[in-house]
Structures are given as C-alpha cells and as structure tokens.
Amino acid sequence: MRRASPAIKALVFDVFGTVVDWRGSIIREGKRLGREKKLAVNWEEFADAWRAGYRPAMARVRSGELPWTRIDDLHRMILDDLLRKFDIHGLSKDEIGDLNRVWHRLRPWPDARRGLQRLKKRYVIGTLSNGNVELLVNLAKNGGLPWDVVFSAESFHHYKPDPETYLGAANLLGCAPDEVMLVAAHKDDLFAARACGLRTAFVRRALEYGPAKRADFKSESAFDFNVGDFIQLAERMCGRGGAR
Amino acid sequence: MRRASPAIKALVFDVFGTVVDWRGSIIREGKRLGREKKLAVNWEEFADAWRAGYRPAMARVRSGELPWTRIDDLHRMILDDLLRKFDIHGLSKDEIGDLNRVWHRLRPWPDARRGLQRLKKRYVIGTLSNGNVELLVNLAKNGGLPWDVVFSAESFHHYKPDPETYLGAANLLGCAPDEVMLVAAHKDDLFAARACGLRTAFVRRALEYGPAKRADFKSESAFDFNVGDFIQLAERMCGRGGAR
C-alpha cells in the first residue's frame, strides 16, 4: 500500500526533546546548584518556564524583530528574566554563564546513543536542530552521539520550521528532499518537514514534559514511521537485513 | 620561549592531501577502470592533471567569475576536459558520474584514522575543507573518520584561503581564532589561517604528489607544530597526560 518512494539515504534529527532530555537534565543540575547555593526554587517549574520562553524568543528572530541570534543568546535572555521571576540571587556572572550552558550538557535519552549507532551503519545521520553548532557539538561530545554531520539553524540563519532549514540540509547532503527523513518528537516540526517533501518519523517521548503532562502521542498515518524510541526505529529500518 | 596563548580547544583539518591520499586513490581507481574498459591512459598524469585543474577552477569562483559552485561540479568541469585531452572514450554518463565521485572515496593516509581518534579524546575535531558537505560526509563514512563536525567551504560560500572560512569555523565553534588550530599539509593554507589568528600545525605528507616530486617540507617556526603525521601530532598534543 506504500506509494513508490526513493530509498532514504539520510536521517536528520531534531535534538531538544527528541535526542536529549532537556527537562530532566535542567532539573537535575538546578537541584544541585540549589543545594550548593541554598536556593529555594521549584526546578521543575523553572525548567518548564525556560523551555516555554524558547518558542516566543525564536519567533522574534523568525519575524525579523531580532536579527539572527543564536540559541545560546536566546537562552540567556530568557534566563535573565527567570532569575528575576524565580527570585534567584547571589549567583556570580560565571555561575550564571555556566547555568546557561546546561543546554550544552543535556543528557541523551537512554536509547539514543545505541539507536543512533545502529542507524549510522546504514544511513547518514545528522542533527537538524535549532541549537547552535557549538552547543550541538558539545552535546555530542558529552553524550557520545555519533553524528556524521551537524546541521544547525545557525548554518542557514533560519530557525525551524522555516523551509530553508529542511531544504538546506537536503541540499548540503546532495539529496532530494524525499531521500531525507526528519526524526522528531514534535508533530509541528514533522509536518513542516513533510510540507517540504521530506520523509518523517515520529518518536513518542512520553516523558519530555514530565510525568504529569499529557502531550499528543497519537500515531499519524501521514508519517512514514511512528515509533517509541530510536531502537525501535533502527529495528524497523535496519532489522532483518533491511526491512521496509 | 612560547608566547602566552589560550588553550587550543578545536582542531580543524584540511582534507585533500592532509587527511586523504587523493593521488594514490585516483590512480588506483583509474587503473581498475582502465582494465575494465581497455583504456590506455597514464593514470598518474591523469590524477595530477585533475588536481592541477582544481586551483584555477576555484579561483574563478573566488574572483566572482563563476557563481558559487560546489567542488563536485568543479571536478566534473575539469574531468570533462580531461576526457578529451586524454582521449578517453566509451564511458557512459553513469560511468563518468561515478568516476567523478572517486573524490568521495579517497582513502585516508594510514595514520589518519588512529591519529584523529586520539586527538578527538581531548579536542573537538572537524574538517575545514573546500570539499562540499556531501563529499566530506562520504569520505568520513568510507574511511571511518570520526569528525565531531564537518565544516566546508560550502557552508560559507567562500573557498579557502578566503578569511571567511577560517573565521567562520571559529565563530561556529564559539571560539576565538587562537583557540582553533588548522592542521594542513599545505603552507599557503596555514599562512592564510595564521593571518586570521588561528594556530597552525604543518603535516609533512611526503607522498602527496607522488614519489618523484619534491615539495617544500621544511619546518616553519611560524607554525605551532611541524609533524610527520597525525600520530606524532597526537603524541605532541595529548601525550604524557597532556603536554602543552
């Protein structure tokens, strides 16, 4: 029942939430900092608020209100606000800078590294993230993520879901759009990639927003794959000598 | 006697000649094709002529005579000329396309992979090559080169030795220029990087142009390192628990 499609040559991955657990990582580092500095902060709320500021901050760049600004600097703008809102005092400039770089130290989901290693044997694998290049390289170094190539919004001076990002990655890989598949935990990202002609794989990251929050994890027939994690994706794409 | 310098954080590598043996690889594949197709071609001369066409072709892009053109397409323009000059007939369009992609299959020098693996433990390692992204990714896949990041002239729409390449890579890494070191077998590349403030390591690739040709392999005090191969560079930079 599948339409005839060319073989997939490359997989590009959304990173925040799809490959790495931003919420758990920020909470863990926040709690450690809180103990050291005797800060009474609800770090779950803090992590959620930081992430919630990300989309509006990017929207200001996408609309042209702000010139190109890398995520590190957007994260810092949001953080400076949060330090006031959460009444956090007594951090030195270096400590604030280090806290901002928690985004360079986010931990991969438990299946991520192993799944990527398997997928890498058959496909070119790369990031396609709104994170800046330095951040993505540090995430990979810290988490042992074996990317063949790092694509960032920074390379295109466009943030996802602008088409320049999806089409830019395919172009640099020398691929037609439908030879490249976006792997992501977020449907809006996948639908935008699909509108550009890319293939799509939805990964259910049930804990991305914490155990309490219910997001939309329903499979979509519009996507080429709907999977629970990267191991399952590797089994579907590489298992038994190359099923599909 | 060293001037005070910040620590080196990242190494970026020239690729053609520095990491991979373009001449030996082209000769080997050419001879195989020649046997199959019964072509009487001096493949040593053919390889040298192909490479000799590269710099003038890039110069046409750097001067603005040609719009941005990726190396794959420059290689193909040169190849089309060479097929006439070397009187090579009887290749199909696919065979010519495949011959052009020999540049995606160039073999690493024997020390390259192991040296990079050692350097990667301490530094961010990446390409900084005039090769296009797809070509560099394929070289790495085929040769097992463990890059953290792939920087290409294509990312900057400038060919080396334009300063935009060296400074662009440092900027994307979030580094000051003198926190980044170019590793290359070609002094002009290194001097151009040095003029932008980068650190420099010269690698003597005595066989790059074949056993007959003598190039300039003299050490230069202007460079931070002058070494025989990547293993020696790793020993100098990582040996004994972190000299320098």
pLDDT over 70 (residue B243): no
Interchain contact A173–B (C-beta under 8 A): yes
Give alpha helix (H) positions in chain A: 22-37, 43-52, 54-62, 71-85, 93-100, 112-122, 133-143, 153-156, 163-172, 187-195, 230-242
Q: pLDDT tier at A243 (50, 70, 90 boundaries)?
A: very low
Task: Provide the pLDDT for residue B137.
Answer: 98
β-partners of residue B227 are: B203
Task: Provide the pLDDT for residue B82.
Answer: 98
According to CATH, what is the number of the domain B22-104?
1.10.150.240
Task: Provide the pLDDT for residue B1.
Answer: 46
Q: HSE (CB half, 13 Å, CA atoms) of B65?
A: 6
Indicate if B22-104 has the same CATH topology as B10-19+109-242. Answer: no
Please say whether the beta carbons of A104 and A98 come within 8 A. no
CA dist A80 and A76 (Å) reads 6
Give Cα separations from A165 to A63, A214, B154, B157 (angstroms): 15, 29, 15, 17
Q: pLDDT tier at A214 (50, 70, 90 boundaries)?
A: confident
Task: Provide the pLDDT for residue B240.
Answer: 55
Partner-chain contact B150 A149, CB within 8 Å:
yes
Please say whether the beta carbons of A16 and A186 come within 8 A. no
Could you report the per-residue pLDDT of A133-187, keeping only the tens digit for each?
A: 999 999 999 999 999 999 999 999 999 999 999 999 999 999 999 999 999 999 9
Q: Which residues of A touch B124 (CB under 8 A)?
A: 137, 141
Q: HSE (CB half, 13 Å, CA atoms) of A11?
A: 28
In the 3-class helix/strand/coil scheme, how is B203-225 assigned residue by residue?
Answer: ECCCCCCCCCCCCCCCCCCCCCE
Give the mean pLDDT of B90-96. Answer: 96
Q: Which residues of B touch A133 (CB under 8 A)?
A: 149, 172-174
| Lowest mean pLDDT segment, chosen from A34-48, A88-102, A230-244 | A230-244
Task: Provide the pLDDT for residue B6.
Answer: 85
Q: Count the neighbouring beta carbons within 10 Å of the beta carbon of residue B111.
A: 17
pLDDT over 70 (residue A107): yes
What are the tokens at B95? 């065979």
Partner-chain contact B140 A148, CB within 8 Å:
yes
- Beta strand B10-13 with B124-129 is parallel
Q: Domain A10-19+109-242, CATH 3.40.50.1000 — does that match?
A: yes
CA dist B78 and B83 (Å) reads 9
Which residue do the tokens 């070494």 mark? B227
Please say whether the beta carbons of A11 and A184 come within 8 A. no
Partner-chain contact B173 A133, CB within 8 Å:
yes
Q: pLDDT tier at B214 (50, 70, 90 boundaries)?
A: confident
Task: Provide the pLDDT for residue A3.
Answer: 54
Task: Provide the pLDDT for residue A117.
Answer: 97
Please say whether the beta carbons of B194 and B186 come within 8 A. no
What's the CA angle centered on A229, arms A202 and A17, to 5 degrees? Answer: 70
Interchain contact B148–A (C-beta under 8 A): yes
Could you report the per-residue pLDDT of B180-191, keeping only the tens digit for each?
A: 999 999 999 999
Give the mean pLDDT of B80-104. Answer: 97
What are the tokens at A112? 């991520």
Residue (of B11, B203, B19, B6) closest to B121 by Cα position: B11
Partner-chain contact B137 A148, CB within 8 Å:
yes
Residue ranges of domains in chain A: 10-19+109-242, 22-104
pLDDT over 90 percentage in chain B: 93
Using N-to-C axis directions, what is the helix angle for B71-85 and B54-62, rounded to 10°? 130
Could you report the per-residue pLDDT of B2-17, keeping only the tens digit for each?
A: 556 789 999 999 999 9
Of the partner residues B72, B137, B155, the one whose CB lies closest to the CB of residue A155: B155
β-partners of residue B125 are: B11
Interchain contact B140–A (C-beta under 8 A): yes
Could you report the per-residue pLDDT of A60-78, keeping only the tens digit for each?
A: 999 999 999 999 999 999 9
Q: Which residues of B touch A72 (CB under 8 A)?
A: 174
Task: Provide the pLDDT for residue A1.
Answer: 46
Task: Provide the pLDDT for residue A213.
Answer: 79
Single pTM value for the model: 0.94
Q: Average pLDDT over chain B, rounded to whole?
A: 95
> Length of chain B in residues, anyone?
244
What are the tokens at A96? 């604030």
Task: Provide the pLDDT for residue A244.
Answer: 41
